Amino acid sequence: MRADELLAMQRAFLAALREPLAGASRARTDLPARSSVTSPAFAATAEAWLTASEALDPVARLELYHRQYWYRLLDSLADDFPAVQRLLGAPRFAALVERYLADVPPHTFSLRDTGAGLAAFVAARSAEVPHAAHVFDLARLEYAWIVAFDAPARPSAPAAALATTPLALQPHLTILALHTAADTSWRTQTRGRLRPATDAPSRFVAIAREGLERRIERLHPAAFTVLHAIERDGDLGRALDAAAPQLPRRRGQALVQTWFQAWTARGWLVPRA
Amino acid sequence: MSANRFNAHARLGVGLGLRAPHVAQVLAERPAIDWFEVVAENFMVDGGRPRDTLERVTACYPVIPHGVALYLGAAQGLDRAHLARWKALVARVRPPWISDHLCWGSVDGGTSHDLLPLPYTPEVARLCAAAIREIQDTLEVPFAVENVSSYAEFRGSTMPEWAFLAEVAEKADCGILLDVNNVYVSSVNHGFDPRAYLAAIPAERVAQLHLAGHAAQHGFIIDTHDRPVAEPVWQLYAETIARLGPTPTLLEWDAELPSLAALAAEAARAAAILATAGGDAR
């Protein structure tokens, strides 16, 4: 088999795996029912490249890999986004991730990255997703939880150098502005169906690792503004200027000092690479 | 005797796959497991608990990284960024050898997260061997290539799987991770004699063996790694050990994970077979 033929086979094979599940393979999942047959292109790929065995024809053999592809990805995303699944219910969650995977198929070596774009996908299709604002917030929270698990911990910026060093946030730290009470429902409703949250005034959270444990905590709006500005351009002076209107007049300076003591102690601020 | 240059002459005995639900117990109790195999990609991260776990387990046990994403038969060649991740992992673990599968799984930047079968031809064997040579040159550690279980065969194949595996290993001058369960699974799925397969494998290149459980369906077998090793596979394993001598062996179990004690009991059966074939392999 020539190299160009091998490449053509691999392209056709992967394209077939990415086709939506059909028939009995689909019926074994939470995906909504649809046509019971695979596409003509799927069958053509199987017939063009594969032989039959005593038990299975070429299409049935390709279907075994097709099932493995989808079951692995559906299981992986359900593991990574349990709260989104509990909010939507298994069938609607499966339908959502099927559309997501058709749009954003896996492209890194790690299954852990598969859901990296789920929140953005939901945001772009909010009219089609039930409880879209809540799903969007939960998807961001749950992916931040994954990031906090295994992202690097870089040496923190020395407190004395904060004012003169271009800064960034610790890679395992994610800060989020939420538009629903998603953090509350995520923390408190740990079993069963998640109740949809109504839209709420913005709330701000940080998800990070301390030692080996992951934590989520609320941020003062001005603290979020400071961290967000540092994340954006790394300049501490501009970050503090941006937050100034949100600070209380009398206790503002003391608050900022408290935050920076905590952030430097926890290594949240690192020199910008 | 399969203590050879492809496994750095290590006599490791029977190991287990390190799985997350068992990590705390392994670190707290230090059970008498000969060695652990880790899925390499699970530890190609830059921080957090996976990295900590790897460091702590490596301090107590021999650890062999086993890859699932080098995709030796990818038509577009090796992913050099992934090879760089491997380089960093090997530097951290310093294993006596590493391994990955004789398969493909990605094209045009997209990935299947599966170990997909290859057409068995001399041209494809050359492609895989070139990839393995680059891996060995880059990582400077012996590499063992593993036969996968498969459910499909290609019209374009011109040689049997065992000849393909042997040719890849010879051309790459690498070791073989012979998965006895995969040989059995594929023999049922494709209708060949598993003993003919095992007899054709160059004994001097076998660095390691794999054992695992599988699930029988209607007329074919799925390699599920979710149950005990089947009796026909134990029989093939005993025959393989009789031919090769004591060879480092890994018991794979990935789903429906039992207790560590249950896994150790299954591993003890493999250790008993190793012992009958040439004394204590440890």
User: What stretches of chain B show up as alpha helix (H) in DSSP?
Assistant: 20-29, 48-60, 80-93, 122-139, 161-172, 180-190, 194-200, 231-244, 260-278
- Report percent pLDDT > 90 for chain A: 81
Chosen CATH of B5-255 out of 3.20.20.150, 3.40.1350.10, 1.10.3720.10, 3.40.50.280: 3.20.20.150
Q: Evaluate if residue B254 carries a pLDDT over 60.
A: yes
What integer pLDDT is reported at residue A34 of this predicted model? 77
What integer pLDDT is reported at residue A36 of this predicted model? 67
Work out the mean pLDDT of chain A and round it to a whole number: 93
- C-alpha distances in angstroms, A48 versus A13, A59, A188, B265? 10, 10, 53, 46
Q: Which of residues A35, A53, A80 is at a domain's end? A: A80
Q: Which of residues A80, A101, A130 is at a domain's end? A: A80
The full DSSP string for A29-66 is SSSPP--SS--HHHHHHHHHHB---SS--HHHHHHHHH
**Alpha-carbon distance B214 to B95, whole Å?**
28
**pLDDT single digits (tens) A226-253:** 999 999 999 999 999 999 999 998 899 9
Q: Which of residues A47, A80, A113 is at a domain's end? A: A80
Same domain, A88 and A75: no
Same domain, A61 and A168: no
**pLDDT single digits (tens) A115-125:** 999 999 999 99
Same domain, A112 and A218: yes
Q: What angle do CA B89, B282, B255 make, to 5 degrees?
A: 55
In this structure, what are the phi and psi dihedrals at residue A183, rounded to the nearest 5 degrees? -65, -35
Our CA-based measurement puts residue A141 at a distance from the nearest CA of chain B, in whole angstroms, of 18
The predicted model scores a pTM of 0.93
Same domain, A194 and A88: yes
Our CA-based measurement puts residue B107 at a distance from the nearest CA of chain A, in whole angstroms, of 6
- Rounded to an integer, the average pLDDT of A164-182 is 96
**pLDDT single digits (tens) A30-51:** 888 876 678 899 999 999 999 9
Same domain, A202 and A253: yes
Contact check, Cβ <8 Å, B154/A212:
no
Range of the domain at A6: 1-80
- Rounded to an integer, the average pLDDT of B153-162 is 97
A106 neighbourhood in chain B, CB within 8 Å: 110-113
**pLDDT single digits (tens) B89-98:** 999 999 999 9
Contact check, Cβ <8 Å, A65/B220:
no
Same domain, A67 and A196: no
**Alpha-carbon distance B186 to B124, whole Å?**
19
- Pick from B114, B123, B124: CB nearest A65: B114
* Reported ipTM: 0.94
What integer pLDDT is reported at residue A202 of this predicted model? 86
Same domain, A153 and A264: yes
- Rounded to an integer, the average pLDDT of B205-225 is 93
Same domain, A142 and A63: no
For chain A, report the end-to-end CA distance as a whole number of angstroms: 47
Please tell me the total count of domains within chain A.
2
**pLDDT single digits (tens) B112-132:** 999 999 999 999 999 999 999
Same domain, A31 and A140: no
What integer pLDDT is reported at residue B282 of this predicted model? 40
B281 — pLDDT class (breaks 50, 70, 90)? very low
CA A183 to chain centre: 15
Best A109, A111, A146, A172 member to test B by mutation, with max B CBs in 10 Å, is A109
In this structure, what are the phi and psi dihedrals at residue A38, rounded to the nearest 5 degrees? -75, 165
Same domain, A103 and A190: yes
